[in-house]
Amino acid sequence: MRLSFVSALSATAMLLGAPAAFAQSALIGTETTTNTAPLWEAGVLAAGGYVSHYPAASEGQFRALPIPYLIYRGDTLRIGDDGFVRARKEFADERLEIDIGLDGAFDVDSKDNKARAGMPDLDLLIEAGPKATWHFNPKKDPVQVDLSLEVRAVIATRFVAFDYEGFTVNPQLSVFDREFMGTPLRAYGSVGPIFGYDGVNEYFYQVDRAYATPDRPAYRAKSGYIGTKTTLGVAYPVTENLLLFTAAQVGYYGGAANTDSPLHRDDLNVNVGAGIRWSFWHSDARVPIVR
């Protein structure tokens, strides 16, 4: 039975505020010699880590997230195996892939962040939108290099209301190695800039006059470059059903469109997380592993 890198790292990715960074990789764990995996499987995973409150924040907090998970590996509809839920279509001899990109970030109570004290809280963010990926080499290769472009709508919610906050554009280069340095380790790395438009940057960096203070002057945020994120992840299959994983993400926000905002406090953010995944139920039917 195969343990997916993305599914194993979904909790850590959510903790890091960048699920999509891990959604670039699809194959990790104890792959079979026949390169197949169960059509569906279920289990539980738990992750914890330190997360910055928002891009370029000077403060953060520790988060923990135990959750059940479900994977379904259909030909078109896939759940949990490469991202969360997606419909995929491949072109150009499986080199070009079109699907749905997802991302998100936890909510933040402004009373827990000195820069935002007295301002409205930051709600849970959910991002979704079209994603195009070009695979530079065949999916069966042990090392996979991809170039992707995502355009995601950003929705803020506390589950009693949903508010559109704009959209992000995220080109990204990623590398996935199923046999890192000839070991059982599976490794993933990605790097890419993020741009915010139509209100996203205002959500993070704008200070309306009503919330201005002597130490936090009013500021009108601008659309454009937010920063560049670099993500590294490693997973180790202890058994066929048990996987250990860890990940780190470095965000560099120097030169961003809103470095003059009083809420832009730190050019460098480092988020780290780790966890464990246990898969305990799966189908007898198996399907070919796809990236």
Quick: pLDDT tens for 164-182: 999 999 999 999 888 888 8
Q: How many domains does the chain have?
A: 1
CATH code where residue 58 lies? 2.40.230
Q: What is the pTM of this model?
A: 0.84
- CB atoms under 10 Å from CB of 218, counted, come to 13
Residue 33 is predicted with a pLDDT of: 42
Q: Report yes or no: 132 and 148 within 8 Å, Cβ to Cβ.
A: yes
The values of phi and psi at residue 270, to 5°, are -125, 120
d(CA 128, CA 260) in angstroms, rounded, equals: 29
Q: What is the pLDDT of residue 81?
A: 58
pLDDT at res. 240: 76
| Rounded distance between C-alpha atoms, residue 74 and residue 77, angstroms | 5
CB 217 within 8 A of CB 204: no
Q: Which stretches of the chain score pLDDT less than 70?
A: 1-35, 75-76, 80-93, 289-291
- Residue 290 phi/psi, 5-degree rounding, is -125, 155
